[in-house]
Amino acid sequence: MDLIKKATRKAKDLMREHGASQQQQAIQEHQQQQSTRLTPGPASEPVKVDQITTQVRVYGQQQSNLPHIFRDGGGGGTVGGKHLIIFADGTYTKGEPPTHPSRIVSFVSNSVAVVGDVDDPFSGDTAAVGTTAGAGFSPTLAQVADTGTPDRGPVQAVPFLTGQGESAMDTAVWPNHNIAMLPGTDGTVGVGYSEVIDRNLFRQQKFALLYNTPLEIRIDAHSRQPVVSRPRKSLFLVGEPMFGSFCVVYPELMPDGGDGYLYLFGRVSEAANPQSNGLKLARVRPQGFADRSQFEFWDGRCFGPQMPELNDGGAASVFHYSQEAFGKHYGPGSGDIWWSAAHGAYVMLFQNGAAAVDNSVYLSHSRSLVDGWSTPVCVYKIPHYEDGYSYCFHAYPNMDPTRRIVPISWTQDSKSRSCTIHTGEMLFS
């Protein structure tokens, strides 16, 4: 029996060594591929929406310093001088898409990466990434540096509050929003609002949203890596608008530095009354970003303490949008909003909630956050695989001070290739 045990252990050791060798070889091949910079494809045909003209150039699948990451979601901002992207579910594999459990090395509910040169994991500083002014090139999302290890992949960024009923098996924290610099912190603190999901309900293909949760994001002074904390478990609950989970417009992305408030948009999609579909708006002083008692809500006429109902027929909506697909009516799904000084208007880019059947990126603009939004126009059709679809579109206006070359990203879903992040840039003139 001892000989059998020894032989079994030796066989397992050999298998582990072989697996490690394969993983190391894959990493080396991946690093060799990184020596070739991604370059954008040709610009798409110009699309003019009133005074705004757009074109898109595609970079392709995003590269990381850690190979074989399959994930979705996305959204970003600048914290501590570094451009960040925060993702939803991520799977790390032995080299192939995770279409079989034997290929999976690890899984995380979410992760954060620094935008920049993958050969220098923390070159995501604003000066290093480059800007359109002086550097001779524009910043892109084509390459990122993940926090993690080559053998286990990226680490989870947003923690579960296990002492308050959350767990990796039963709960998902899914970021699908931008990161806003918190005013008054010299750019050292970022905030965001992630949705928290019941995984058991999601597996049953049932409505699974529980609440959204405020995030505080910093760059660790020692490691120079992004660190995420949750000052509060939940902010807005199921049945209420998830303010901030669509996007946050903060003073830097407003005319004349804003008025001191963070403006948080909450999307309404698949409402019982289709007229309710659209966006609702709240605002809060920076110091109260995680305290709902300090929020003020737009009621259709002014901001006040009373939060509007989710399904109010659009009475408190600042943006009305609903599109029918296969018998359902969908509002906005994911997107971003910022002020364009060149056009004297706020610009909104978004996908609707029916992204599985509509791969359009829509543009709307307004001189005010609370009203006057133009009729959305499709400015780009996101490419997708024959056996999948594209979703989770986001723009990153913080990466270009001129707002003329705005990086964009989206998730490509495929039954054979799993979920991957793809990138491009939208040119504004």
pLDDT of 127 higher than 50: no
Q: Which residues of 198-208 are buried (b: 16+ CB within 10 A; e: fewer)?
A: beeeeeeeeeb
Q: What is the pLDDT of residues 318-331, one digit of tens each?
A: 999 999 988 899 99
If pLDDT is split at 50, 70 and 90, which confidence band does 356 have?
A: confident
Cβ count within 10 A of residue 93: 23
Fold of 37-428: Tachylectin-2; Chain A (2.115.10)
- pLDDT value of residue 73: 86
In this predicted structure, what is the pLDDT of residue 37?
A: 61
As a whole number of angstroms, the distance between CA 240 and CA 309 comes to: 7
Mean pLDDT of 281-296: 98
Task: Compute the distance between CA of residue 112 and CA of residue 219 in angstroms, rounded to an integer.
Answer: 11
State pLDDT tens for residues 107-126. 999 999 999 854 444 444 44
Task: Please give the share of the chain, as a percent, with pLDDT higher than 70.
Answer: 86
> Which band of pLDDT confidence, cut at 50, 70 and 90, is reported for residue 128?
very low
Sheet of 418-428, strand order: 47-49, 52-61, 418-428, 405-414, 388-395
Those residues with Cβ within 8 angstroms of residue 212's Cβ, 6 or more apart along the chain or in another chain: 193, 194, 195, 196, 234, 235, 236, 242, 243, 244, 245
C-beta of residue 112 within 8 angstroms of C-beta of residue 214: no
Please, which pLDDT band fits residue 18 given cuts at 50, 70 and 90? very low
CA atoms of 317 and 376, how far apart (whole Å): 15
What does the block give as tokens for 262? 């963070």
* Average pLDDT for 212-228: 96
CB atoms within 10 A of CB 14: 10
Other residues' Cβ atoms within 10 Å of the Cβ of residue 343? 18
With residues binned 3-state (H G I as helix, E B as strand, rest as coil), the percentages for the chain, rounded to 5, are 15, 40, 45
Mean pLDDT of the chain: 88
- Residue 135 in this model has a pLDDT that exceeds 80: no
Better pLDDT: 39 or 105: 105
Contacts of 127 (CB under 8 A, 6+ apart): 81
Question: What is this structure's pTM?
Answer: 0.89
Strand partners, 421: 411
Q: Between residues 129 and 299, which one has the greater pLDDT?
A: 299
Average pLDDT over residues 303-329: 95
Give the tens place of pLDDT for each residue, 388-406.
999 999 999 999 999 999 9
Tokens of 258: 């804003």
* Sequence-ordered list of residues with C-beta below 8 angstroms from that of 343, at least 6 positions apart, any chain: 51, 52, 365, 428
Helix (H, G, I), strand (E, B) or coil at 6: helix
Between 213 and 133, residue with greater pLDDT: 213
Tokens 């993702």 locate to 87
Structure tokens at 107: 């899984």
* CA terminus-to-terminus distance, the chain: 77
Tokens of 19: 């697996």
Specify the pLDDT at position 12.
Answer: 43
- Residue 414 or residue 12, greater confidence: 414
- Per-residue pLDDT band for 36 (boundaries 50, 70, 90) equals low
Mean pLDDT across the stretch 58-63?
A: 94
Smallest CA-to-CA distance from 262 within 293, 296, 301 is with 296
Averaged over 250-257, what is the pLDDT?
A: 94
Q: What is the mean pLDDT of residues 299-304?
A: 98
Among 58-62, 94-98, 125-129, 280-284, which stretch is predicted with the lowest mean pLDDT? 125-129
Q: Is the pLDDT of residue 39 over 90?
A: no
pLDDT at 89 > cutoff 90? yes
What confidence tier does 86 reach under pLDDT thresholds 50, 70, 90? very high
| pLDDT surpassing 80 at residue 159 | yes
More confident call, 126 vs 173? 173
- pLDDT reported for residue 394: 98
Ordered by start, the domain boundaries in the chain are: 37-428
